[in-house]
Amino acid sequence: MADTTKKPLKDKIGEIAGKFAATRFVRAIMDAGYSVISFSIVGAFFLILTVLSQVIKIPAFMSFYANTIGRFSVLFSSVYNATMGIIALVFSGTFAYSYTKIYHDEEHINLIPMNGLMMFLMGFFITVAELVWKNGQMQFVQVFTKTKMVASGYEASASGIYRIGAVGIFIGLVIAWLTVQIYRYTIKHNWQIKMPASVPSGVSNSFSALIPSFCVAVVVAALNGALVIAGTDMFNLLFIPFSFISDIADTWWGFLIIIFLIHFLWWFGIHGATIISSFYMPIILANMADNAQRGGHHFFAGDPTNAFITIGGSGAMLGVAIWLAFRARSAQLKELGKVEIIPAIFNINEPLIFGLPIVYNVDLFIPFVCAPLASGIIAYLGIVSKLVPVIRVQQPWPTPVGLSGFIATTSWQGGVLSIVCAIVAFLVWYPFIKHYDNTLLKQEQETAAAE
């Protein structure tokens, strides 16, 4: 006799993914990801102002630009550097704040989120300065060449201090995690200075963080110092796996695996983009900064999914929404199309995911997964072949098709590629959605005849 108590595979997968998404680390990562959106958009706006003459190569406009807006290009670059140039501080700092707050709220221990943030900044900057073990003592690195300038351990780059930019996100996350865990351990074991109740809370909180801060400083300095003596440091040691993972994600197969996993999870009703992006967020920010500042050629940068792949929302369903509104024959899908067509223009398609539905719908699983994979291949080939410039700007995710590609790559070619990707995705969808529409129409007709 079959075991009826055994859970189906789809329920097991959904349960595992749900538990992972609910972990404290992932929730704090998502908060960090949201925190950089406004920064990256502001930076993107000023970056666009600096590259307008490269996008619009009309002699009259280029002359006008050089004599007006172009005079302030260095000022625009300084604004960009004040956003993307400190992105590791913003991203990892928000993570430290949110991670501390989660422990405070859920374990009910006296952790102050602002203290967690400040201790992270201290620990992080211990690793920012480049050190070397020379002549039996620790020394700041001093390098002055045509390609690299390091003064008193701090390397200057086109965007400011090198290690606090996007390349520092990975080490920043590790330091933030370590900081919060040390802070949590010390407070749970009562390693703190407690002030009388009459002392103002601000003063009391500062003294309560004294011992934890000292512990963070000692641990981070000891780890970094030991590595420097060994010939490296924490930044360089952690940058090796970060670069390895980044290289994999930047390949066509690595990128397609990411797209597949996002949509595979969505089919179970789990917000796949939220879970998977918690892993790749540091990578796309670092790659975008490299593209914009150092002439890199990374495809997986900024927000390629909303610019070229998931146009109209997960599943690349903009074309589907338009077709449903104007060509569907079944009443159910026609009405659903009318409701969804406007949100789909802005990459919102929850009405379709739960209304068609996509979730647990075997009939629509193949196009839901394959359409974004097809548009992803087209986008990848377009950029890697250099027919389309690389992504240098993180456009707002609700940006409509065409405009999203234009902003992301600061080129008209990007706008055209975005539209082509949307068309390719719909061609994958068409036979499946047409068959599904005919099936529902037949059911509606049979129901009407039975009445």
Axis-axis angle for helices 169-188, 113-128 (nearest 10): 130
Q: Does the pLDDT of residue 354 top 60, yes or no?
A: yes
> Which helix (H) or strand (E) covers residue 67, if one does?
helix 59-67
Report how far residue 268's alpha carbon sits from residue 6's, in angstroms, rounded to the nearest whole number: 18
User: What pLDDT shows up at residue 131?
Assistant: 93
User: What pLDDT shows up at residue 242?
Assistant: 74
* Mean pLDDT, the chain, integer: 86
* Nearest partner of 425 among 349, 361, 357, 338, judged by Cα: 349
Q: What is the pLDDT of residues 88-134, one digit of tens each?
A: 899 899 999 999 999 999 998 889 999 999 999 999 999 999 999 99
DSSP string, 262-317: HHHHHHTT--HHHHHHHHHHHHHHHHHHHHHHH----SS-S-HIIIIISTTSTTT-
> Which helix (H) or strand (E) covers residue 138, if one does?
strand 137-140
Report how far residue 151's alpha carbon sits from residue 69's, in angstroms, rounded to the nearest whole number: 33
Report how far residue 72's alpha carbon sits from residue 147's, in angstroms, rounded to the nearest whole number: 26
Question: In which band, very low, low, confident or very high, does the pLDDT at 1 lie, cut at 50, 70 and 90?
Answer: very low
Report how far residue 218's alpha carbon sits from residue 220's, in angstroms, rounded to the nearest whole number: 6
User: What pLDDT shows up at residue 175?
Assistant: 95
User: What pLDDT shows up at residue 376?
Assistant: 94
AA identity, residue 176? A
Note whether 166 and 243 are within 8 A (CB). Answer: no
* Nearest partner of 84 among 399, 297, 392, 391, judged by Cα: 392
Report how far residue 178's alpha carbon sits from residue 442's, in angstroms, rounded to the nearest whole number: 60
User: What pLDDT shows up at residue 5?
Assistant: 58
SS (H, E, C) 38-85: HHHHHHHHHHHHHHHHHHCCCHHHHHHHHHCHHHHHHHHHHHHHCCHH
Domain range annotation of the chain: 85-244, 250-445
User: Which structure tokens are listed for 147?
Assistant: 């390609």
Q: Does the pLDDT of residue 202 top 70, yes or no?
A: no
194-198, 307-311, 444-448: range with lowest mean pLDDT = 194-198
Average of per-residue pLDDT across 146-172 = 83
Q: What is the pLDDT of residues 214-224, one digit of tens each?
A: 999 999 999 99
Question: In which band, very low, low, confident or very high, does the pLDDT at 185 lie, cut at 50, 70 and 90?
Answer: very high
> How far is Cα of residue 63 from the mean position of the Cα atoms in its chain?
37
Q: What is the pLDDT of residues 13-58, one digit of tens each?
A: 667 766 777 788 888 887 887 777 777 778 877 877 887 777 677 8
Report how far residue 256's alpha carbon sits from residue 380's, in angstroms, rounded to the nearest whole number: 10
Question: In which band, very low, low, confident or very high, does the pLDDT at 3 lie, cut at 50, 70 and 90?
Answer: low
Average of per-residue pLDDT across 137-150 = 86
Most confident by average pLDDT, 119-133, 201-215, 383-397: 119-133
If you count them, how many residues does the chain have? 451
In 54-122, beta strands by DSSP E? none
